Amino acid sequence: MTTVLDMIGRTPLVEITGLDTGPCRLFAKLESSNPSGSIKDRPARSMMEAAEAQGRLKPGGTVVEATAGNTGVALALIAARKGYRTVLVVPDKMSDEKIAHLRAVGAEVVMTRSDVEKGHPEYYQDMAVALAATIPGALYMDQFANPANPAAHEATTGPEILEQMDGDLDAFVCGVGSGGTLSGVGRYLRAHSPKTKIVLADPVGSILADLVNTGRSSTPGSWKVEGIGEDFVPPNCDLSLVDEAFSISDEESFRTAREVLLRDGILAGTSSGTLLAAAMRWCRKQNEPKRVVTFVCDSGAKYFSKLFNDEWIRAQGWRF
């Protein structure tokens, strides 16, 4: 019998034809077609199954996680099917749709501040660790350091991409939230397609692009794109895999996400806008045709109150 968990992965790959990709062909892997609507279904299932196999998550237990929303939705969906309680700590900049989705799948949501850095007691990861310590039978899933996170992408996402591209891939463009996708897919491609360049798409304000391009850490800022960009390097994030990085402004990210809906009919979220913008920049730098893959990480349906809200867009000082 097929269950919703069997629908995770094997997502479609489509060519982007409505955006300016210079001499290159750009393909997007539609991770938005996973059951919870994002790429995070893959590591969520992997982390939960590993915890069960290791005896760290027992029947009747509680899953605790710090999340920008998508990992939390995925964990809550899977936990509900398995009979676990889910408690999620979420920064207050996340969209209303994500918060509603978390609660709809049975998660208990704890909101915290998005204007503090790691080490502050109200930083979402620090708060989740502290909270897990107070709940009997709770496990902090820790997507940022859990090895089952990149393992999921090395075992599934990477092989799927190379198979769908018939083994011919010149560049792979990815963002970093926990670092699991970059590290897992990156390791697979390094082993099976050495010619493939690995490109980081990073929001302006995140420290990661500067680390790649200059070797120096900048002072972190703030950004409105959700789910990617960091003010520290997560343990799961292997930046040594990255060949080149692009810093993409919020305005460019949001504009690109709106354009891909109008021109290609793809309803993509804000981080997908960042990835597509970086992929187009890389493509337009090339002097000969290349084959490039990036992700639609999640659905734009999670962002109607911001991304597709003209009043909100104007309040940011943007004119699309």
What residues act catalytically? 40
Alpha carbon distance 161, 85 (integer Å): 34
3-class secondary structure, 17: coil
Instruction: List b or e across 272-300, with b for residues whose CB sees 16 or more CB atoms inside 10 angstroms.
Output: bbbbbbbbbbbbeeeeeebbbbbbbbbbb
Beta bridge partners of 197: 171
Alpha carbon distance 280, 297 (integer Å): 16
10 Å CB burial of residue 194 (0-12, 13-18, 19+) is exposed
For the chain, list the strands marked E by DSSP.
13-16, 25-30, 62-66, 85-91, 108-112, 138-140, 171-174, 197-203, 244-248, 291-296
3-state secondary structure 231-245: CCCCCCCCHHHCCEE
Query: What's the Cα-to-Cα distance from 217 to each of 201, 224, 233, 275, 285, rounded to whole Å?
Result: 16, 20, 10, 21, 26
